[in-house]
Amino acid sequence: MNAVPELFHAKEACCGCGACLNICPANAITMQEDEGGFIYPVINTERCIRCGCCKTVCAFQNREETNSPIECFAAVSTDEDRAKKSASAGIFAAIALSVLKEGGIVYGAAFDELWGVHHIGIEDETTLEKLQGSKYAHSNTERTFSEAKKQLQTGRKVLYSGTPCQIAGFKEYLGKEYENLITVDIVCHGVPSVRMLKDYLRLLEEKHGGKVEQFTFRDKSIGWGINGCAVINGKKVTIWQSASSYLYYFTKGWIYRENCYTCKYACEYRPADLTIGDYWGIEKQHPEFLGKNGWDETAGISLLIANTRKGADAIEEYETVIDLKESTFSQMAAGNAQLRAPSQIEKRDEIVKEYVEEGWKGLEKGYKAQIGYRRYSSQIKSLLPAKLKRQLKKHFN
């Protein structure tokens, strides 16, 4: 009898996309947390039939991407209300809403009632908000790959969104192209574990003496940036980037999965039909798009890249709900490091070890010792007029 497959030789070789779980004919694979809360596939050796499907389906280990940008745009949604509810400029919501109106189904990451992050499928506009907004933690795709495949086989239109490694895993799982499928990947820095996020939110609850009722990493009411908010006991609490230990460690890049630091998708070769993200640095690359006669960047501006001909056709199909201005990949990559290279590992092992040993309270203590008066920088920046911030970014970033 064949040996039980070794799914990965080291943790850096697994992105946790869930393709192996979905393809296993014996349902012998489950996703289980390690000591840091990061999920990895584990084989039940008694159920395993040694077919090897789980090894061959792994895009992260076996497949190199060849898609490269066909068209690049700066973009904003024509629906201002939906844009305000989105992390950036509402591009995903605009496309997703169009797919839903065609009778399609949309898959993406959503919070559950306990602030876990999972992929779900939605079928109507009233639930679209669940997929909007950033979730700075690893989403468990669970069995949405196989669910989406069943929908595709019926001829129904499907929009599937996720990190690049999730999209690569999904496409490898499908094993063929479907004309009724559109895939969207995000410009991803890396993903912390959901356990880390939950521990951070519990610390917020202790500090404010109540339960987190609502939470978002990107609060547009204080401008376009990485400042969030929570509602605790009916009271809004601003989560300033510079005053949040979670956002501090996240933006430093010290709490991601191991594979994030060797990510082969952090470049121009992307697996999805479309890539979306914040167009950071647009004030330098395209000052003509902003200001009095242009876009209001306080609501956010997205980058939109067509990596395939299908992606380019989708942009043309949905151009009535998206305002587009031509750009280039090199201009986008100038302000988005993850379009050039993976995040640097730096203090990751040290920080995650501290988390395992001391929990988030240990990281909070370390953060406070390091940050000092810089914790107030986000509040100060929020008080500056948009024009002044644009000028400062243009000259000093």
Residues 54 and 80 in one domain: no
What is the residue whose two structure tokens read 């940036």?
Answer: 225
Residues 183 and 278 in one domain: yes
Residues 87 and 231 in one domain: no
pTM summary value = 0.93
User: What pairing do the DSSP bridges indicate for beta strands 274-278 and 105-111?
Assistant: unpaired
Residues 182 and 146 in one domain: yes
For 257-312, the pLDDT digits (tens) are 999 999 999 999 999 999 999 999 999 999 999 987 789 887 789 999 999 999 99
Residues 183 and 221 in one domain: no
* Phi and psi, residue 78, nearest 5°: -80, -10
Structure tokens at 232: 């605790």
In whole angstroms, give the CA distance from residue 119 to residue 17.
11
For 24-42, the pLDDT digits (tens) are 999 999 999 999 999 999 9
Please report the sign of the dihedral spanned by the C-alpha atoms of residue 226, residue 105, residue 140, residue 272.
negative
Residues 140 and 96 in one domain: yes
Residues 264 and 301 in one domain: yes
Alpha-carbon torsion, ordered 55, 57, 58, 64, to 10 deg? 130
Residues 185 and 302 in one domain: yes
Q: The domain containing residue 366 runs over which residues?
A: 194-254+347-396
Residues 351 and 241 in one domain: yes
pLDDT values of the chain reduced to their tens digit, one per residue, 397 residues: 589 999 999 999 999 999 999 999 999 999 999 999 999 999 999 999 999 999 999 999 999 999 999 999 999 999 877 666 666 778 999 999 999 999 999 999 999 999 999 999 999 999 999 999 999 999 999 999 999 999 999 999 999 999 999 999 999 999 999 999 999 999 999 999 999 999 999 999 999 999 999 999 988 787 788 899 999 999 999 998 888 999 999 999 999 999 999 999 999 999 999 999 999 999 999 999 998 778 988 778 999 999 999 999 999 999 999 999 999 999 999 999 999 999 999 999 999 999 999 999 999 999 998 886 566 566 656 554 555 444 545 554 5
> CA 133 → CA 171, 175, 218, 370, distances in Å?
24, 30, 7, 29
In a domain, 6, yes or no: no
What is the number of structural domains in the chain? 3
In a domain, 2, yes or no: no
Three-state DSSP class for 331?
helix
Three-state DSSP class for 240?
coil
Last residue of a domain, one of 20, 39, 62: 62
Residues 18 and 146 in one domain: no
Residues 335 and 351 in one domain: no
In whole angstroms, give the CA distance from residue 239 to residue 246.
10
Residues 167 and 239 in one domain: no
